[in-house]
């Protein structure tokens, strides 16, 4: 299961207005040694067959009293709560203490085409805030979920993504390799935003006296595969400037680089690695 962090910057009234602030995620790609799925995970590819309740139905809940909301939650999700959760909801005396975790919860059901790790499940739960995941009917997803009481839950920071997305394609490479018993060698890969792709952009990887370089593809993607467990320096450059980052593959199985340009090139990415000389680097 990836090591994820999720910070919600949303006011609940904005959940349904489309003006939610956003969710800031720091997620570990599936190729990282730190991202080995746990026994409590369910990682699979599946097509969505149901999203319930709808966002329209959830929006109507805002007009309910606290007592009505508690009754609705307990009726709607009968069998999905542990005894401790049910007791907590029944004892809650304030509307806002239960709304975020339970009132805006959605159940997503799937036809699973491939189980990649963990337990076989056909439904997961998410929420309608900016830190939940927005599933669409009949779309196919790579779903990464973890046990949450009697349920499996996923969200915006979980590495769940459309199966054809670049993030999912990269994660599926690692998941398929791990499932076959031949995990991928250490690698560094990433994608420059298409708006920043220029003919002179060069991505260089160095280690001691060794050097390798590539021009990103038309979509901005690049990768260095079959690396060793060692420290590398990733550099991005063009005529506008240069930026770099030290990446220690002795600590992680891979690094997903996120380069961007602002006066000069910068390189963030995940897993989050802190350089000794630059403790504030994200």
User: Looking up tokens 């961007």, which residue turns up?
Assistant: 260
Contacts of 87 by beta carbon, 8 Å cutoff, 6+ apart: none
**pLDDT above 70 for 80:** yes
Mean pLDDT of the chain: 85
Dist CA 21 CA 24 (whole Å): 10
User: Looking up tokens 């506008």, which residue turns up?
Assistant: 240
Q: Which of 179, 177, 225 is nearest to 205 (CA)?
A: 225
248-265: average pLDDT: 92
Dist CA 86 CA 261 (whole Å): 49
117-138: average pLDDT: 93
The dihedral built from the CA positions of residue 38, 115, 175 and 257, taken in this order, carries a sign that is: negative
Q: Which of 82, 268, 79, 91 is nearest to 190 (CA)?
A: 268
More confidently predicted of 277 and 65: 65
Domains of the chain: 4-176 (2.40.50.120), 187-270 (2.60.40.10)
Q: What pLDDT, on a 0 to 100 scale, did the predictor assign at position 18?
A: 34
Dist CA 218 CA 96 (whole Å): 47
Name the pLDDT band for 272 (thresholds 50, 70, 90). Answer: low
> Count of CB atoms within 10 A of residue 164's CB?
11
CA angle 246, 252, 257 (to 5 degrees): 50
Q: What pLDDT, on a 0 to 100 scale, did the predictor assign at position 225?
A: 95
Name the pLDDT band for 52 (thresholds 50, 70, 90). Answer: very high
* DSSP H/E element including 89: helix 83-91
Can you say how many angstroms the Cα of residue 107 is from the centroid of all Cα atoms in its chain?
Answer: 18
More confidently predicted of 252 and 186: 186
DSSP 219: T
Q: What pLDDT, on a 0 to 100 scale, did the predictor assign at position 277?
A: 44
Phi, psi of 175 (to 5 degrees): -65, -45
> Are the C-beta atoms of 151 and 80 separated by less than 8 Å?
yes
> Are the C-beta atoms of 205 and 249 separated by less than 8 Å?
no
Q: Are strands 123-127 and 140-148 parallel, antiparallel or unpaired?
A: unpaired
Q: Which of 28-32, 181-185, 236-240 has the lowest mean pLDDT?
A: 28-32
DSSP 252: S
SS3 assignment, position 197: coil
More confidently predicted of 5 and 257: 257
DSSP 209: T
- pTM to 2 decimal places: 0.84
Dist CA 96 CA 73 (whole Å): 13
**pLDDT above 60 for 281:** no
DSSP 53: S
């Amino acid at each position: 299961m990836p090591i994820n962090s999720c910070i919600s910057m949303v006011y609940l009234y904005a959940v349904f207005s489309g003006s939610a602030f956003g969710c800031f995620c720091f997620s570990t790609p599936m190729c990282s040694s730190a991202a080995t799925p746990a026994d409590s995970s369910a990682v699979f590819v599946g097509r969505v067959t149901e999203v319930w309740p709808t966002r329209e139905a959830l929006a109507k809940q805002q007009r309910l009293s606290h007592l009505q909301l508690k009754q609705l939650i307990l009726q709607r999700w009968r069998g999905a709560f542990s005894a401790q959760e049910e007791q907590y909801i029944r004892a809650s005396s304030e509307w806002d203490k239960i709304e975020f975790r339970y009132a805006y919860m959605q159940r997503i059901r799937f036809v699973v085409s491939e189980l990649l790790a963990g337990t076989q499940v056909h439904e997961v739960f998410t929420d309608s805030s900016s830190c939940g995941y927005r599933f669409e009917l009949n779309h196919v997803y790579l779903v990464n979920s973890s046990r949450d009481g009697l349920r499996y839950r996923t969200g915006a920071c979980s590495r769940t993504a459309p199966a054809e997305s670049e993030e999912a394609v990269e994660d599926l490479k690692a998941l398929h390799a791990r499932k076959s018993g031949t995990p991928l060698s250490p690698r560094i890969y990433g994608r420059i935003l298409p708006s920043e792709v220029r003919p002179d952009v060069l991505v260089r990887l160095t280690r001691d006296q060794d050097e390798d370089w590539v021009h990103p593809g038309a979509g901005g993607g690049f990768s260095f595969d079959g690396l060793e467990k060692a420290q590398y320096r990733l550099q991005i450059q063009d005529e506008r400037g240069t930026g770099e980052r030290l990446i220690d593959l002795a600590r992680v199985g891979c690094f997903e680089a996120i380069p961007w340009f602002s006066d000069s090139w910068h390189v963030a990415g995940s897993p989050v690695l802190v350089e000794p000389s630059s403790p504030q680097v994200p």
